[in-house]
Amino acid sequence: MADGGAPAEPKAPKQAPQPGQMSQSLDEPVRGLEKVDDLKVHHREFFGGVGSFTVLKHEHLSQSTMSGSFTLTSSTGGVTEYKGCFNGNPADDGPTPNGLGVRINPDGSSFAGEWKEGFPHGQGEWKAAAPSCESYVGEWKRGKKHGYGTMKFNNGDCYEGDWADGKFQDRGKYTYSNGDEFMGLWEKGVKVSGTFYFADGRVSTRKWQGGKLVSCQEFDARKRSYMPTTTHQQVHDPRANQYGAAASMSNMITCNGVRVTT
């Protein structure tokens, strides 16, 4: 009861949401929208009949991403085919691959993955033309292997690790076709330090400078012990390389595995 004994007025009932409000069911189609018809298919032939491209483009966004395909014939007769996303303007000489796309090169090799300004850039896979089984899966930068990736060579070898500017860099594992493995550090495609794990159980830890082997320590799996370290200076010591000279390097080992003693 309110002051003075008058009864309180009842509250008005909550109205149900009307169509068009945020509570409208997502299953109901929205009405009143104008028809969108801004996407157009453009086709153009390259001058001289060397190729053509067909793209789907937004009419009012000159720099929008397009999807389509192109073919281009080189002066030597090789044909390049691309299907995927582009940037550019159909009125120009031709759009530039940008985004996801697949390109087949004149030699039959292919690249499928991410593109930026006409170059493989990001994640992607390159495959050599048949019958070769060579391939690379991993990261790219401006058309070169850069980052982390796996390369399989046609001779059966395989490299898995870091890359920079298209070369082995930093940590990597190289597996040879015969089962031998090398794990270590690389610089500009050249070994710096690491360990060979041979399929027959032998282990060899080595160091290089400028691509030149400077030290080597072998592990005898049968005796389960390390052999003394052999350095570059010991291997090339003049006293050990003269015919008939007295051996004076107790850590020298012949090519047949026989240790030289003084």
Is the confidence at residue 102, as pLDDT, over 80?
yes
Tokens of 142: 């401006």
Domain count, the chain: 1
Residue 206 lies in a domain: no
Bigger pLDDT: 23 vs 183: 183
What whole-number distance in Å separates Cα of residue 187 and Cα of residue 190? 5
Residue 55 lies in a domain: yes
What whole-number distance in Å separates Cα of residue 57 and Cα of residue 40? 5
Residue 175 lies in a domain: no
The predicted-structure confidence for 179-232, as pLDDT tens digits, reads as follows 999 999 999 999 999 999 999 888 999 999 988 888 888 887 766 666 665 655
The predicted-structure confidence for 145-176, as pLDDT tens digits, reads as follows 999 999 999 999 999 999 999 999 999 999 99
Residue 93 lies in a domain: yes
Residue 100 lies in a domain: yes
Domain containing 117 equals 38-122
The pLDDT score that the predictor gives to residue 74 is: 80
For 193, phi and psi rounded to 5 degrees?
-160, 155
Q: Assess contact for 97 and 114: CB atoms under 8 A.
A: no
CA 221 to each of CA 24, 95, 250: distance values in angstroms, whole numbers, following the listed order: 75, 60, 21
Give the mean pLDDT of 36-61. Answer: 68
Residue 235 lies in a domain: no
**pLDDT, averaged across the chain:** 77
Residue 149 lies in a domain: no
Residue 141 lies in a domain: no
